[in-house]
Amino acid sequence: MSVKSDKYFEMLRGWLRYYGFEEITVNAEAGCDLVFKRSRVEVTKFGKVDCYICVKYMPEGATGQEMRIFSEKMFTLANRHRTGAPLGFGAMLVVYPLIITENISAELAGFLNQYSPKHFAAAEFPSAVDLSTGYLYYYPDTPIWGYAYYATYRREAYSFFAPKSWEEVSKQQIVK
């Protein structure tokens, strides 16, 4: 890891605690560096929502295919880990697979710009942070089937992962 990535990971841990997440331990073979979980009842989602953030540091970046594989694998991991009511019957699952890179490729940025996997009573919202710019990449649109929640996923991804968001929140806290 680089100094920049170490600093980002340290800040990410702090901000995710701020947003109510706990870091959980997963098997090294899971394919990610960090996993965070938050469970809470959300009226707008009609029950208990388990939210997982699965983080992988890939300094050289990733291809779109590698992102797709990572995202699917993390969705499966989170779905196996969660407990409680069946999805759609008082429970929902939201998974944010996050790749941290030193320099995002145009291919990965383009892939994220068009990739929006569909699930029943669950969401998979892959994202990538480019440490060289601090920019966050994710699916920018709203698919017809995701109109009720996609704005929330974009807003949460920005709040959870974007250094610019962290600066904005910190400035608001100082003003208060």
Averaged pLDDT for residues 98-126? 93
Q: How many domains does the chain have?
A: 1
71, 29 Cβ separation under 8 angstroms: no
Longest dimension (CA), the chain: 45
> Residue 105's pLDDT is what?
92
Higher pLDDT pick, 145 / 54? 54
Averaged pLDDT for residues 78-86? 88
In the chain, % of residues over pLDDT 70:
93
Residue 10 in this model has a pLDDT that exceeds 90: yes
**Quick one: CA dihedral 147, 118, 123, 65, positive or negative?**
negative
Query: Smallest Cα–Cα separation from 45: which of 2, 92, 106, 109?
Result: 92
Q: What is the pLDDT of residues 52-77, one digit of tens each?
A: 999 999 988 899 999 999 999 999 99
What are the two backbone dihedrals, phi and then psi, of residue 112, each rounded to the nearest 5 degrees? -65, -30
- What is the residue type of 85? A
Query: Smallest Cα–Cα separation from 44: which of 136, 137, 156?
Result: 156
Residue 107 in this model has a pLDDT that exceeds 90: yes
Query: CB-based contacts of 56: which residues, under 8 Å, 6+ apart?
Result: 31, 32, 33, 70, 97, 98, 99, 100
Q: Which two tokens stand for residue 90?
A: 């008082």
> Residue 176's pLDDT is what?
55
Q: 0.85 cut: is pTM over it?
A: yes
Query: CB-based contacts of 93: which residues, under 8 Å, 6+ apart?
Result: 49, 50, 51, 52, 78, 79, 82, 87, 119, 121, 122, 123
The whole domain housing 76 covers 3-175
Q: Checking DSSP bridges between strand 135-137 and strand 122-124, what pairing results, if any? A: unpaired
pLDDT band at 2 (very low <50, low <70, confident <90, very high): confident
Provide the β-strand partners of residue 36.
23, 53
Alpha carbon dihedral 129, 31, 38, 72, in 10-degree steps, equals 80
Higher pLDDT pick, 47 / 137? 137
Averaged pLDDT for residues 96-120? 93
Higher pLDDT pick, 146 / 18? 18
Averaged pLDDT for residues 9-19? 94
Mean pLDDT score of the chain = 89
Tokens 């699916």 locate to 139
